[in-house]
Structures are given as structure tokens and as C-alpha cells.
Amino acid sequence: MEQVSDRNAGTADDDDTPMLSSHALEALREFLSEQNSSLTADNDGATVAEEDKVVALVTEDWRLSQFWYDRETAETVAREVHALYTSMDSPPSVACIACPTLYVYLKKMHHNLPVQLLEYDNRFKQYGSEFTFYDYNQPLELPSSMKHAFRIIIADPPYLSKECLEKVSETIYFLKQPGESYLLLLTGAVQQDRAAELLGLRPCGFRPQHSSKLGNEFRLFTNYDPGLRLGGWEQDQ
């Protein structure tokens, strides 16, 4: 099974490949064309450069079930990563596992921030030395220089399955520095108990969203108390 970027709309157990009608495909093409246009209108009808409002992304490849975060989600998580980064005495290293949307927004908003993108989709090789090919089916097949090298790790497992989260967790433990490290996991709400068991994570109040509206509920989990940011940790019911 191939790994995909950012988000699979279903689970690893889905058997049927969804088919779209020609009408639906045309509507999706129009949506992408509008999303990727070089200019966009603001609320007053004036035109402003797209780069001032939306970061340019490669087109989602739906054959790989790719769904990018919407702008609010990407900017919110990018601000959180930057807040963690600037709160530390010595600059930490940052790793993004299978979340290229976040990587692109981080570099757009804070271009000097050192971030390593671990990603299956080779289109992201354009980011040069900050790209590392990553297949979650081989969670430890990574350069030895990355072992215990990152203090901030953000992960978005490509499938909503126990096996996938377990393997991505192996990667996280390989990457994270001993001692205090900061973990952020964006995944389906169905993974809450597994996220707690495998990584000691708790859900935040902030709800991640995607540009293509998906049926599954997604959550953001952390291993640290974000305080007033990210809607705070949710209290146990």
C-alpha cells in the first residue's frame, strides 16, 4: 500500500475505489483552477496577489488521496511551531512527517526556520536538502544523522489505521531528541486512544480542516499543554 501525503479520506481497510461522475470531476477541476489562480479578490472586491493570502501548493493528487490543509489550519499550526521554536534557549530542529502543507506554510511565514520534510511524494524534492523520502511502511529507513536529532516533530499519518499510527510512532521515536521534545499529531478523532497509548498525546480544542471538505473528524493532539493556544487541552469528560 502506498503512503500518501497529508490525508487519506478513508482508512486502510477501504476496499472500493470511489468513482466520480464526469460532472463532479469538472466541478473539481474548476475548483482547483480557482484555488490556484494567481490573483484573488478580497472582501471589498479589490484584487490582491494570491501570495499575500494563500501559499501556492502543488495540486492535490487524488489518486494518492491527497488533501491539503486549509489556510487557517496551516497558519495556526505554523504559528504554534514558531512559538515553540522561539521559546527555547537554543534553536531546535523541526521535522514534518507527511505534512507538506505545513512545511510550505512554515517556510512562507518563517523562511529562516530550519525544517525537514519527510514525505513520500517525490514532487517535493524541489525543496532540496530539506526533503527526505519517507515511506511509513519502512519507518526506520532514514539517514542515521536524523536519529534523535529533532526537538519539534509534527506528524500527519496518511491512513486512519492502527498499523499506520504504530509505524509513524516508530519514526517519531527514532527522530525525537531524548528529554523534552514537542510532538504534534494531526489525525482522525478515531485515533485518540491510540495516540494516548503510543505517544502520550492529548487532544486540543482546535479542529484541523482541509481545503477539500472531508467526512472524517480530525483532531490535533500534543504531548505538552499548549495553554491558551490551540484551544488548550480538552478536559477529560
pLDDT greater at residue 40 or residue 198: 198
User: What backbone phi and psi angles, to 5 degrees, belong to 224?
Assistant: -135, 155
The DSSP H or E segment spanning 94 is strand 94-97
**What would the pLDDT profile of 142-155 be if each residue is shown by its tens digit?**
999 999 999 999 99
CATH class of the 64-231 domain in this structure: alpha beta
Domain ranges of the chain: 22-54, 64-231
Name the band, by pLDDT with cuts 50, 70 and 90, for residue 235. Answer: confident
What local confidence, expressed as pLDDT, does residue 68 receive?
A: 78
Tell me what the pLDDT averaged over the chain comes to.
Answer: 81
**What would the pLDDT profile of 89-104 be if each residue is shown by its tens digit?**
888 999 999 999 999 9
Rounded Cα distance between 38 and 41, Å, is: 11
Rounded Cα distance between 1 and 167, Å, is: 13
**What would the pLDDT profile of 200-230 be if each residue is shown by its tens digit?**
999 999 999 987 766 788 999 999 999 999 9
